Amino acid sequence: MAFWVSPEGFTSFRSPDLNGIPFRSGLLKEVNPSGDTQKAIDVYSNDVYTEALTSTGHAAEVASEEMEEPTKAKGEVSVAMDPLDGSSNVGSNNPLGSIFGFYSKPLPTSGRNLAGSLYVTYGNVITLTLSFGKGVHRFVALREGASMNFELLEVNLKLPDDPEVYGFGGSRKEWIPAVRSFVDSLEEKGMKERYCGTFVGDYNQVLARGGVFAYPALVKKPQGKLRVLYETAPMSYLNEQAGGYGSDGSKNILDIEPTGFADTSPAYIGSASLVKELEKLISSAP
Ligand code: FDP
């Protein structure tokens, strides 16, 4: 397994054994044709990426929600990852992804200490979208025999000027009122709802078509659902590099100082003008 991104940019990536996925996902029995028992797909993804990252020699620690404690190593970069984003989509075979944040300080720490981030989508094609502070670039996986290589697909991705789509998690009746009226205003503007329930899949189309992804503050869960360290800060960092803005409703997501690994915050990420408009609505709400 090879996986590393140097400060100069992407160097190499080999994906986990994708043939194992049907057996680990509950789509097929958890015993593969050779009779081996398969680990659940989220544990499997965690183990594969932890091993890959620590074996580079560059990781100082690797943290994920699948592990109670970060795995320590001897390198210099702290990695926070969501190894399988959208795991509730496994059973229905909808999109899945992975998110990685590369921090220059020990975890937990704020998104201001991100040196880079990337996300992978396991869709019709596998893509890897990254930023190391010099724009957003995308790679696509191409199979060559038994191995899979990533080739550069697009450079300097930017959010389009005319936003088209929005995708908000949770359910409408749980959203705080400011979010509900904001979504009404998006619909009046003719924007379309597009929500697949996987953060990276939903953000990926915001990046392609312009708009907003949110997992908002809920009336009964004001801190939302998504985790700052593993999910919202890395994605917000990349979104800023694409010309966008990410807010927790009152401030830039990158300014959140998480005190714990599992800290969550509301997240509104996408086209800067829309997210700023929503931030204003939320902060002026009674
Ligand atoms: P999941 O619980 O399926 O892993 O990371 C959490 C996440 O998925 C996001 O990928 C997704 O945006 C959100 O939760 C979906 O939550 P809802 O089902 O509540 O909309």
Q: Looking at ligand 1, which atom is closest to the CA of residue 169?
A: 20
Rounded to the nearest 10°, the torsion over CA 186, 189, 192, 193 is: 10
Asked about 85 being catalytic, the answer comes back as yes
Q: Summarize the chain as % helix, strand, coil (round to 5).
A: 30, 30, 40
Distance from residue 85's CA to the centre of ligand 1 (Å): 7
Distance from residue 88's CA to the centre of ligand 1 (Å): 7
Q: Give the CB-side neighbour count of residue 73, counting CA atoms within 13 A.
A: 20
Q: State which of 122, 168, 200, 225 you would mutate to test the pocket of ligand 1, scoring each by most atoms of that ligand within 8 A of its C-beta.
A: 225
Asked about 66 being catalytic, the answer comes back as yes
pLDDT at residue 19, rounded to an integer: 59
pTM as predicted: 0.92
pLDDT at residue 4, rounded to an integer: 47
In 3-state terms, what secondary structure has residue 36?
A: coil
| Backbone φ and ψ of 57, nearest 5° | 85, -5
Distance from residue 144's CA to the centre of ligand 1 (Å): 33
d(CA 221, CA 233): 19
Of 109, 124, 45, 95, the closest CA to residue 199 belongs to 95
d(CA 134, CA 17): 31
- Residue 284 burial class via C-beta count within 10 angstroms: exposed 0-12, middle 13-18, buried 19 and up: exposed
| Residue 76 clears pLDDT 70, i.e. is over it | yes
Q: Is 198 in the pocket of ligand 1 (CB under 6 A)?
A: yes
Ligand 1, atom 19, lies closest to the CA of: 170
Asked about 42 being catalytic, the answer comes back as yes
Catalytic residue among 53, 61, 85, 207: 85
59-64 and 77-85 beta bridge pairing: parallel
pLDDT at residue 113, rounded to an integer: 98
Stronger pLDDT, 82 or 24, i.e. the higher one:
82
| Residue 31 clears pLDDT 80, i.e. is over it | no
Asked if residue 108 has a cis previous peptide bond (ω within 30° of 0), the answer is yes
| Residue 252 clears pLDDT 60, i.e. is over it | yes
Angle subtended at Cα 169 by Cα 204 and Cα 102, rounded to the nearest 5 degrees: 50
Is residue 117 within 8 A of residue 100, CB to CB? The reply is: yes
Catalytic residue among 17, 18, 28, 36: 36
Of 136, 167, 164, 96, the closest CA to residue 236 belongs to 136
Stronger pLDDT, 191 or 93, i.e. the higher one:
191
Ligand 1, atom 18, lies closest to the CA of: 197
Q: For residue 204, name the pLDDT band (cuts at 50, 70, 90).
A: very high
Q: Is 197 in the pocket of ligand 1 (CB under 6 A)?
A: yes
Q: Is 224 in the pocket of ligand 1 (CB under 6 A)?
A: no
Q: Is 44 in the pocket of ligand 1 (CB under 6 A)?
A: no
pLDDT in tens, 119-152: 999 888 899 999 999 999 999 988 877 677 889 9
d(CA 143, CA 240): 31
Distance from residue 145's CA to the centre of ligand 1 (Å): 34
Distance from residue 35's CA to the centre of ligand 1 (Å): 32
d(CA 155, CA 135): 8
Q: Is 87 in the pocket of ligand 1 (CB under 6 A)?
A: yes
